[in-house]
Amino acid sequence: MLIGEVARRSGVSTRMLRHYDALGLVRPTDRTSGGYREYSTGDVRRIFYVESLRSLGLSLKQIGRALEDPDFTPSALVSDLIRWTADRLDRERELLERLRAIDAAAPTDWHDVLHVVELIQGLDSTSAARRQQAALTRTEGASAPAELLAGAVLVESDPNVAGALRWALARSGGDGVPTLAVGVQSTDVDVRRRAVLAIAELSAAPGATALLVEALNDPDTRVRGHAALALGRRGMAAAAPKLIRMVVEGSYDVDAGEVLGSLARQPGCAERITTALVDELAAHTADPATRIRLTQALVELPGTTVQELLRHLAHDDNRTVALVASALAEVHEQNSRSGPIASPRLDLPDA
């Protein structure tokens, strides 16, 4: 069978058949008296083998090895194909995400497209300094796509870069909450922590508060703490029990105490928060460290009841607790002179 007929029957061009011959992949068994290539039935069968392997993504060099090396096993070939295909799909998914990020930025001209591409390249850098610079740099008149920034926040482990990304996300003017919401549901606790920290800075974004409320029940202490602090700073009294628990456990207790002080200035909150702290003091009579943290939280609260409680604690059986309470009682009294807020009288725990 001459080369022209082989090309018609196999669908492989005569040029490619000549290339196979030159590489030694498929050499015709014979030649005519005029020097034309003449293929046998076995040669044609080999052509189909080559084409089948090419369809799997093998290079011609790999195909030659597969056909000639008796030690080359199909299982090894398939394993290699799986790895190569997975790598290719990862690259294509990365490209797809980049294209979506560019599309989300709604570019109006090539300048906008190039800005987003530059941002993507910067955020993909192995250098933390370059990633941070990419997050902080804003081109005049151009905004970074919120989804891109939110996605970068979830995977960023460097604290300085992460802070820059959260800053950029909060000022992007876009809605990165859907991307961060996926992070809140992640099985990776680090991703959940990053997501909640970013959501905390998106004060006006729709859905942000609901995600923070959901995070109050996260199994991780730090996730719950970040959510409680953010909600407390937004004036949500529902965060108070978690904040008090943070004081007891010593998790961001100084921040929690300050936020409790802010919440206590809302109508009706001072009594509930003070009562809860008093209950915790009564429950931890043998734990000086916890009592000190609770005493430090009390000084943030307004009201004459707190002054009485601090004076009472100044006579605590534990000398360190007593000294701390005595000093804080003076601070609280000085701060209250500008405008004390009265609160209901409570039953104080025994010293």
Clarify whether residues 104 and 19 are in a common domain.
Answer: no
Instruction: State mean pLDDT over 147-176.
Output: 88
pLDDT band at 190 (very low <50, low <70, confident <90, very high): very high
Q: What is the pLDDT of residues 14-27, one digit of tens each?
A: 898 888 888 888 88
Which of 199, 216, 233 is a domain's end point?
216
Inter-residue contact 196 to 166 (CB < 8 Å): no
pLDDT band at 142 (very low <50, low <70, confident <90, very high): low
108 and 196 assigned to the same domain: yes
Same-domain pairing of 206 and 157: yes
For residue 189, is it within any domain? yes
Helix (H) or strand (E) holding 31: strand 30-31
pLDDT tens digits, 80-114: 778 878 877 887 787 677 777 667 666 666 666 77
pLDDT higher than threshold 90 for residue 181? yes
Contact at 8 Å (CB) between 7 and 44? Answer: no
- For 331-341, the pLDDT digits (tens) are 888 877 765 44
Question: In this structure, is residue 42 part of a structural domain?
Answer: yes
Question: Are residues 63 and 132 located together in one domain of the fold?
Answer: no
- Whether residues 59 and 107 fall in one domain: no
- 131 and 67, same structural domain? no
Beta-carbon count within 10 A of 19 CB: 14
Residues 43 and 100 in one domain: no
- Looking at the fold, whether 50 and 163 belong to one and the same domain comes out as no
In a domain, 82, yes or no: no
Question: What is the per-residue pLDDT across 58-73, written as a single tens digit (0 to 9) for each?
Answer: 788 888 877 777 676 6
Q: Is residue 327 part of a domain?
A: no
Residues 46 and 114 in one domain: no
**Domain-embedded: residue 49:** yes
Same domain, 192 and 111: yes
DSSP string, 130-158: HHHHHHH---TT----HHHHHHHHHH---
Q: Among residues 210, 211, 269, which one has the least CA distance to residue 237? A: 269
User: Minimal CA–CA distance to 225: which of 209, 241, 237?
Assistant: 241
The answer to whether residue 315 is domain-embedded is no
In a domain, 147, yes or no: yes
Instruction: Render pLDDT for 207-256 as a digit per residue (tens, 0 to 9).
Output: 899 999 999 999 999 999 999 999 999 999 999 999 999 999 999 999 99
Q: Are residues 117 and 58 in the same domain?
A: no
CATH code where residue 11 lies: 1.10.1660.10
DSSP string, 160-210: HHHHHHHHHHHTS-S--HHHHHHHHT-S-HHHHHHHHHHHHT-TTSTTHHH
Residue 316 is assigned to a structural domain of this protein: no
pLDDT band at 349 (very low <50, low <70, confident <90, very high): very low
Q: Give this prediction's pTM.
A: 0.65
Q: Are residues 98 and 26 in the same domain?
A: no
Domain boundary among 23, 43, 72: 72
- Among residues 193, 216, 239, which one ends one of the domains? 216
The residue range of the domain holding 97 is 91-216
Q: Say whether 124 sits in a helix, a strand or coil.
A: coil
How many domains are there within the chain?
2
